[in-house]
């Protein structure tokens, strides 16, 4: 094909295999080596930095149906959110209206959190 003999083809296959295995091993090391094992649950203290309320609203998205784009109205209900500081990092968490009305910025809570896989950011799972 490229004017290569059988030796060049075998050499190219061996090199490609070695490079492929090295890439595979590096990807495994990247995924398995900690910074703090993404996905594992941890306990900590979180301080409420701010709270926000977003009223119910509609957004429009478009979807292809055959060769025609059809608008779709999407309803988003009321949402209540806290921004908390955990170990110097901030994270947002959705909460109930009742909890939103009771909590004030500056309050501390015991929380359960994990870290996201690729970005290694804090994701709050539970507020106690």
Give how far the C-alpha of residue 37 lies from the chain's centroid of Cα atoms, to the nearest Å: 14
Note the pLDDT of residue 81. Answer: 95
SS3 for 26?
Answer: helix
Q: Please write the tens of the pLDDT for every residue from 80-93.
A: 999 999 988 999 99
103-107: list long-range contacts, CB under 8 Å, 24+ apart: 103/48, 103/51, 104/48, 105/48, 105/49, 105/50, 105/51, 106/47, 106/48, 107/47, 107/48
| CATH code 2.40.50 for 37-127 | yes
Q: Please write the tens of the pLDDT for every residue from 14-56.
A: 999 999 999 988 887 666 554 555 567 888 899 999 999 999 9
What pTM was computed for the model? 0.61
Spell out the residues 6+ positions from residue 55 whose beta carbon is closer than 8 angstroms to its own. 78
Q: Pick the residue with more confidence: 98 or 5? A: 98
**Structure token digits, residue 47:** 């301080």
Closest CA to 88 of 49, 34, 41: 49
């Amino acid at each position: 094909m490229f004017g290569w003999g059988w030796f060049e083809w075998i050499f190219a296959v061996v090199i490609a295999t070695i490079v492929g295995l090295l890439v595979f091993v590096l990807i495994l090391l990247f995924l398995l080596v900690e910074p703090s094992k993404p996905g594992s649950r941890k306990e900590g203290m979180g301080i409420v930095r701010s709270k926000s309320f977003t009223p119910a609203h509609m957004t429009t998205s478009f979807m292809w149906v055959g060769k025609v784009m059809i608008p779709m109205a999407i309803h988003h209900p009321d949402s209540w959110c806290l921004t908390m500081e955990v170990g110097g990092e901030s994270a947002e968490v959705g909460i109930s209206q009742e909890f939103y009305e009771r909590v004030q910025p500056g309050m501390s809570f015991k929380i359960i959190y994990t870290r996201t896989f690729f970005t290694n950011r804090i994701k709050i799972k539970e507020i106690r």
